[in-house]
A and B are shown apart, each in its own frame.
Chain A
C-alpha cells in the first residue's frame, strides 16, 4: 500500500523557520518525482515546490522562491521542505505528492499524503 506521511507542521511565529518531512512507503521512491502542494484554509490547491528523482531539477513557486528549500534522501525514502522567513500567508495544509514520471519536473501527481498543518501567527 502506498503511503506518504507528512510531519513537522505546527504553530510558528512570523519570520521563523520550520522543516517539513514526508516519509514514503509502498512504492519505489527513487523512481518518482516529488512535490509539495499547499492548501490555505477554505481555499484551493497551490503548487509549492518539486524535485525530480535525482535532485538535478528543482522548481519553486514564485511565492516561496528564496525562502523555501526542497530536498530528498532516496536512501531514507524521504522528502523535505525547509521553510524560512515564514509569513502569515504561508499558513496552510502542506501535502506531499508523488509523480510517477520521475524524470519530469512537471507532471500529474499520482499519490498524495494527508498533509501537515502549518500556522504562522504571533
Chain B
C-alpha cells in the first residue's frame, strides 16, 4: 500500500491553522498513525487509529479520515511544531508516507 502525503512542504506562520493530507492507494480502514520528527530526533507518535491522540499530545493536534483519505490538523501552530510529519498505515503490513515538512514562513 502506497501512502502519498501532500504537500511536500508547507510554509506557515505561528498561530496559523495547518492541514496535512495523506492518501492511501487502497482502503486502510482507520489503521493510520501520524508521527512528528524534528531534526536529529526520533519520530514521536501523535495520532493512532486515524483520530486518537497519543498520551501527552496537545489538543491542538487532531486527526480525521477513514478508508483512503486522512488529515492531520494543527489548530494553532506553535514554534515547537515546525518539523516533518509522516503518516503510516498498518492495515496491511506497514508503510509510511514520504513526509510533509512544516517550515517557518
Instruction: List A residues at the B interface (Cβ < 8 Å).
Output: 35, 37, 44-47, 50, 59, 95, 106-110, 112-115
Q: Chain B contact residues (Cβ within 8 angstroms of A): what range?
A: 20 to 34
Task: Establish whether residues A47 and B43, one from each chain, have CB atoms under 8 Å apart when the complex forms.
Answer: no
Task: Establish whether residues B54 and A106, one from each chain, have CB atoms under 8 Å apart when the complex forms.
Answer: no
Cβ-closest 10 pairs across A and B: A108-B33, A112-B42, A108-B48, A47-B94, A106-B90, A45-B96, A44-B99, A44-B98, A107-B90, A114-B42
Instruction: List B residues at the A interface (Cβ < 8 Å).
Output: 31, 33, 35, 37, 41-45, 48-49, 54, 86, 88, 90-99
Task: Establish whether residues A109 and B86, one from each chain, have CB atoms under 8 Å apart when the complex forms.
Answer: no
B90: chain A residues at CB < 8 Å are 106-108
B80: min CB distance to chain A, Å:
18
Question: How long is the Cα–Cα vector from A108 to B93 in the complex, in angstroms?
Answer: 11
Question: How long is the Cα–Cα vector from A35 to B31 in the complex, in angstroms?
Answer: 17
Work out how many contacts link A and B, with CB atoms closer than 8 A.
51
Nearest A residue (CB) for B90:
A106
Nearest A residue (CB) for B40:
A114
Q: Say yes or no: A108-B45 contact (C-beta < 8 A), given A44-B86, A45-B86.
A: yes
Question: How long is the Cα–Cα vector from A106 to B93 in the complex, in angstroms?
Answer: 6
Q: Say yes or no: A106-B92 contact (C-beta < 8 A), given A44-B86, A45-B86.
A: yes
Question: How long is the Cα–Cα vector from A110 to B43 in the complex, in angstroms?
Answer: 10
A106: chain B residues at CB < 8 Å are 31, 90-94
Nearest A residue (CB) for B96:
A45
B77: min CB distance to chain A, Å:
22
A114: chain B residues at CB < 8 Å are 41-42
Contact of A47 among B31, B96, B99 (CB under 8 A): B96
A28: min CB distance to chain B, Å:
16
Question: How long is the Cα–Cα vector from A44 to B100 in the complex, in angstroms?
Answer: 10
Task: Establish whether residues A108 and B42, one from each chain, have CB atoms under 8 Å apart when the complex forms.
Answer: no
Task: Establish whether residues A46 and B42, one from each chain, have CB atoms under 8 Å apart when the complex forms.
Answer: no
